[in-house]
Structure formats: structure tokens, C-alpha cells
Amino acid sequence: MTRFLLRRVAEAVGALFGIMILIFALLHLYHGSPAAAILGKQVTPQRIAHLNAQMGLNRPVPIQFLLWMKAALWNGALVGVLTRLLPPTVELLGLGVLVAVLLAVVAATVQVHHSRSLLDRAIGVILNTLSAIPGFWLGSLLVFVFAVTYPILPASGVPVMHHGLGTWFRHEIMPVTTLSLSVVGPWARHLRASLDEAGTADYVRTARAKGVAEFNLVRHHTFKNSLLPLITIIGMSLPTMLNTVIALEIIFAIRGLGVALIVSLNGLFFALATTVSLALALVTVLGSLCADVAYGLVDPRIQYR
Amino acid sequence: MDHSVTPIMDHPVPTGWHAPTILNQSIFWLGFLMLIGLIGLCFIGPLLYPASPYAIHLTWIGHGPSPSLPLGADELGRNELARIMVGGQLLIVVGVTSALVATAMGTVIGLAAGLLGGMVDRVLTWTTDVVLSIPQLVPLLLIDVLLRPSATTMFYIVAVTSWPLAARLVRAEALRTRELEYVTAARSLGASDIRIALRHVLPSQWSTIWVSSTAQVGSAVLVVATASFLGFGLPPPFPNWAGMIAASTANMSAGYWWTMVFPGLAFVLLQLSVNFIGDALRETLWVQTAASS
């Protein structure tokens, strides 16, 4: 287990390193000549060269990359950004995953129990439609209906949790609903397919033959096996979910990583944008790490190597 | 795979003339007709309904749907129907073309990774994983700000950031196909890597490639729309559905529900039609795989 975790963390660090190279390359391409941009038009080449030397821009590109990485990781900016901006984003993402899993489990089990009935088809149509609805539109519609037309839910900001669980919960209702509904379609469909497949296995037939009730059959036999593909698809959905989270943070004025990204890009604050991009990548990388660990917890046969 | 085949044993899968093709699936025709309808609305509609999507009529502000203005007017008094017709054009063109290019890139990369194996496979798989682990909006917005935001920029960025989806699927299939007897036979006859890839492995991948390309179109359209909603991506004044929704959120309190509902509905119809076609493809693929195994 420890060795597996270490290897996964090493892979995650490798992925983050790759992402940093990518971001650095992008910024490097863009900043044709920062010195010229800072000093303006009427300036001698000597002064540009001087400022370039001062800022370390005359050094070889790999050295610049290392210096830039040191600045991005060491000056505490990343830590500051993470402690302030990470919690709202992770809260929204985590709650979204949780609610979506609950919804997917309920939808899929109902579908399997009433297979090929009208209810099955109706749920299928609803899930299909939900997966076609973009999160930013659903979020805007919810605000329009439940915050503007009938003001019963708060539309903006999420207060810190310890300021009162009730208000915090009320603020999270709309964003979390939107986020979970935007992913529940494919999740429920995967879960349903694997429940169906598990239902035809020999051990299920045996269990059914010895008289195990349908509910217990699902609970003790098929459900855990069907969770594995669901965990895989949750891990794979995280980056897409974060796309939606970025839009939702803007709609619901949640001061997390998404808002920081948009604000920094609009103001051309590339240092902040870099740090926030890294933090967003960190969230997905850590999220898929969690998915891998959960995979092993659900299936004891999996050997961590 | 073996579980899914068991129930079919009792009812032999029809092959030959009676094999189910995509063409006799009603869900495919539903999706196809919806897509054709939307493309017609966006590209032929403006010719039949020549109202200007840009002209501002101050007296129209606050006009809801009515016979003279079928979908009402937006917050500046512009014809909403005309804007919706034009507003789908860039979204559809950018979404579809970038998805096709991404699928092509993913196919080449997936074939190379799956067939060459070794170091090439490890580097390509690692790159795929890195690109897949970043929320696509992050590089999209970053590059969009660094370069000049335009539909062309958008097309390039979406294509370059979406290929891993196809690459992963094609690589998995290529790994499977590589071990089949006919590929070994071709190799023993001295066929080159490229010939094996193009003549022996690629033809068996078309269904995978088609399924992944519909998924790509859906996700490309969504990410372009989300970027445009956030104010990046497709630039004004040319309208697009996501930008129109974003504009409508700015004056929600005025109660112009139609400016938010109709562009969103158009977008949902587009996504649904792509999903339906993808479902039909997957269904056909599943039956064909079951029949051949």
C-alpha cells in the first residue's frame, strides 16, 4: 500500500511537473520581451539588456524555468493561494461528487429493479436530457427562478462553514445541485450497465436460487462489484467537473480557484493565474489518487504494487 | 465481454443481411434529424428570415415572444430569433471541426502508442494522462488570453487539448488487436509497421473512432460554450448561444426569461442530437462486437 501510494504520488508530481513545463512554455511564448513592455517605446537597447539581466531573462531557458518554478513554489504564494481559495472549490466539488453518487445509485437501482418498464425508460430519458444540459445554463436558470423571481435561496457567496451550518447549507444547495445534475447522467448509466452485467453472473443466480431477497442480493452481492466502474468514471470525470465548477463559482460568486483564475486572467495577472492553474491541476491529480485508493478499499483483490 | 454475451446465446445475433445497422435504429434518426434541423436553422435560417441579429431597436426592449417577434428581443432590443440562428454557427463549426481534428490526432497517437509499445508508448501514455488530468478550461483560457481570442484560436486550442480522449480508446483497442492472429500473420509476412497500422489495425478501429468522435463533438461544444460563457472564447459582436446566456444573466432582475431560456434550449438540442447519434453508434458497435466474438 505504502509503495503503491509513493509511486502514485511520484506519478502525480511528474504530472504536475509536466503541467508546469506547459504553463512555462506558454508564458515564455507570450512574454516576447517583458523588459520592452515595462520600459515603453523610447528606450535604448542597453537599458532593455540591463533590465533583462536584472530580471534574469538573459539566462538559458532551462535555468529560467527552474528559477520560475522556485518562485512559484517557494515564496509562499502557492501556500497562500491554496489555504484561501482551495476550500470553497474542494467543498463544492466534493459535495457535488457525493450528491451525484447518491443520485446515480438511486436512479440505477430503481432502473435495474424495474428493468424495461415505463419507469426505467422515463429515468433513462431524464438522465439523457440532464447530460445534455450545460452546467452554466442550469446554474443561471436556478438563480433566475429561485433567487430572483422567487427569492427563497441565496444566490451568491458561500460563507465559511463555522459561521453557521444552516446558512452554509442554504448557500451550497443551488451550486451543488447544478454540479451533481451535470454529471449524474453518465454515472448512472455506467452503474446501471455494470449492475445489469453483475446480475447475469453465476454467483447471483446461485444466490437467487437459494432464496436471497432482491434487496439483499443487490446490497450484499452485486452492488459492491458494480461500484468499481463507477469509481473509475468518477476519477475520470473530475477534470470535466472542475470546468463546471469554474463556471459555477462565477455564477454563484463563490470565492474559490475558479473565480481567482478568471479574475487573474481578465487582469492579466499571470503569476496568480499560474499558481491557480497549478492548484486546479493539483485538485484533479489528488482526486484521481483518492479514486485509486478507494478502488482498493472496495475491491480487496486489488494488489497495490 | 463474456457476461454481456451470455444472454445472447439463446437468441443468435443476426448477421449478414439482418445485422442491425445504425440505419435501422430510431434513436439514430431522431438525433440525425435534430442535428440536420439545427444546422438548417443556423445556416439556412438566416437566409429565409433575413432580420438583422445586430440591429438595435430601443422600442423592442422588454418585448417577449409574440407573433411579430417569435422569440422576443434581447436586453438591447435585438431580434432574439435572428441572434439564435446566427449564434449557433461558430459553436457548431468550431465544435465539430476541432473534435474531428482531435479524433484524428488521437487516432494517430493511440495507434503509435499501442502498436509501437515500449518507450514510445510510455511517453505518449504519460502525456495523455497529463493532458487528461488538467481541467480543459485552464489551458483553454490561458492560451486564449495569451493569443488573440478568436474562433480560429479556439479551434486550435480545443483540438490540441481534446485528443487524449480518442488516444486512450484507440490505444486500448490497438493493444487488443495487435495480438490477433491476422496481425501476427501480416507481421510474419514482413509487413512494415505503417502498413500494419493502416491496413490491418486501423480498419477494425473505425467503430471505436466514430463513437469517440461523437463524444469529442459533445465535449468540444460544451467546453467552447463554457469558455464563451465566461467571456473568453468566441468573441463578440458575433453572437453565440453561451455568450447570449451570459448576457442574459446580467439583467436577470428585469425578468426577460426568454433571453436565457431559448439559447440554452438550442444548446441542449444540439447536445442531445449528438448524444443520440453516439448512443446509436455504441449500440451498433456493441451488437457487432457481440456477433463477432
Work out the minimum CA distance from B98 to partner chain A, whole angstroms.
17
Q: Is the Cβ pair B143, A19 closer than 8 Å?
A: no
* Residue percentage of chain B with pLDDT more than 70: 90
Give chain B positions within 8 Å (CB) of A179.
none
Q: Is the Cβ pair A134, B225 closer than 8 Å?
A: yes
SS3 string, A27-91, reads HHHHCCCHHHHHHCCCCCHHHHHHHHHHHCCCCCHHHHHHHHHHHHHHCCHHHHHHHHHHHHHHH
Q: What is the C-alpha to C-alpha distance for residues B264 and B269, in angstroms, rounded to an integer?
A: 9
Mean pLDDT rounded to a whole number for chain A: 81
Residue of A nearest to B1 (CA): A197
Q: What is the C-alpha to C-alpha distance for residues A197 and A144, in angstroms, rounded to an integer?
A: 42
pLDDT given at position A243: 92
SS3 string, A107-126, reads HHHHHHHCCCCHHHHHHHHH
Q: Is the Cβ pair A284, B257 closer than 8 Å?
A: no
pLDDT tens digit string along A31-52?
A: 556 666 666 667 777 777 777 7
Grid cell 446490497 — which residue? Answer: A219
Question: What part of B 2-21 touches A (C-beta under 8 Å)?
Answer: 3-4, 6-7
Q: Is the Cβ pair A137, B231 closer than 8 Å?
A: no
Q: Please give the domain boundaries of chain A with CATH numbers for all domains.
A: 88-252 (1.10.3720.10)
Q: What is the C-alpha to C-alpha distance for residues A125 and A239, in angstroms, rounded to an integer?
A: 25
Q: What is the C-alpha to C-alpha distance for residues B218 and B128, in angstroms, rounded to an integer?
A: 19
What residues pair up with B79 in beta bridges, in sequence order?
B73
Work out the minimum CA distance from B259 to partner chain A, whole angstroms.
11
State the DSSP H helix or E strand holding residue B71, giving kind and residue range, or none if neither.
Answer: none
Say if residues B168 and B130 touch (Cβ distance below 8 Å): no
Grid cell 473505425 — which residue? Answer: B206
Task: Go through A188-224 and write b for each residue having 16 or more CB atoms within 10 A of its CB, e for each that does not.
Answer: bbbbbebbbbbbeeeebeebeeeebeeeebbeebbbe
Work out the minimum CA distance from A89 to partner chain B, whole angstroms.
13
Least confident of A136-150, A291-305, B2-16, B94-108: B2-16
DSSP state, B69? S
Phi, psi for B73 (deg, rounded to 5)? -130, 155
Whether chain B has a CB inside 8 Å of the CB on A253: the answer is no
Q: Is B62 left (phi over 0), alpha (psi -120 to 50) or beta?
A: left
* ipTM (interface predicted TM): 0.85
Q: What is the pLDDT along chain B (293 residues), one digit of tens a residue?
A: 334 444 444 445 555 555 567 777 788 899 999 999 999 988 888 888 887 788 777 777 777 787 877 777 777 778 888 888 888 888 999 999 999 999 999 999 988 888 888 888 888 888 888 788 788 888 888 888 877 777 888 888 889 888 888 888 888 888 888 888 888 888 888 888 888 888 888 887 887 888 888 889 999 999 999 999 998 877 777 888 988 898 888 877 777 888 888 999 999 999 999 999 988 888 787 666 555 54
Q: How far is CA A288 from CA A256, A299, B127, B260, in A?
A: 20, 16, 16, 35
pLDDT band at A183 (very low <50, low <70, confident <90, very high): very high
Whether chain B has a CB inside 8 Å of the CB on A90: the answer is no
Q: Is the Cβ pair A136, B257 closer than 8 Å?
A: no
Question: Which of B8, B125, B130 to mutate against chain A (most A CBs within 10 Å)?
Answer: B130
Give chain A positions within 8 Å (CB) of B226.
134-136, 243-244, 246-247
Q: What is the C-alpha to C-alpha distance for residues A227 and A195, in angstroms, rounded to an integer?
A: 9
- pTM, to two decimals: 0.86
Q: What is the C-alpha to C-alpha distance for residues B293 and B285, in angstroms, rounded to an integer?
A: 12
Question: Which of B124, B125, B142, B147 to mutate against chain A (most A CBs within 10 Å)?
Answer: B142
SS3 B276: helix
CA A222 to chain centre: 28
Q: What is the C-alpha to C-alpha distance for residues B247 and A197, in angstroms, rounded to an integer?
A: 46
Give chain B positions within 8 Å (CB) of A201.
3
Q: In a 10 Å sphere around its CB, with 0-12 CB exposed, 13-18 middle and 19+ buried, how is residue B142 labelled?
A: buried
pLDDT given at position B3: 41
Average pLDDT of the residues in A154-168: 73
Question: What part of B 112-131 touches A (C-beta under 8 Å)?
Answer: 126-127, 129-130
Q: What is the C-alpha to C-alpha distance for residues B274 and B215, in angstroms, rounded to an integer?
A: 8
Size of interface A-B (CB pairs under 8 A): 139
Whether chain A has a CB inside 8 Å of the CB on B172: the answer is no
State the DSSP H helix or E strand holding residue A235, giving kind and residue range, or none if neither.
Answer: helix A223-251
Neighbours of B53 (CB within 10 A): 19
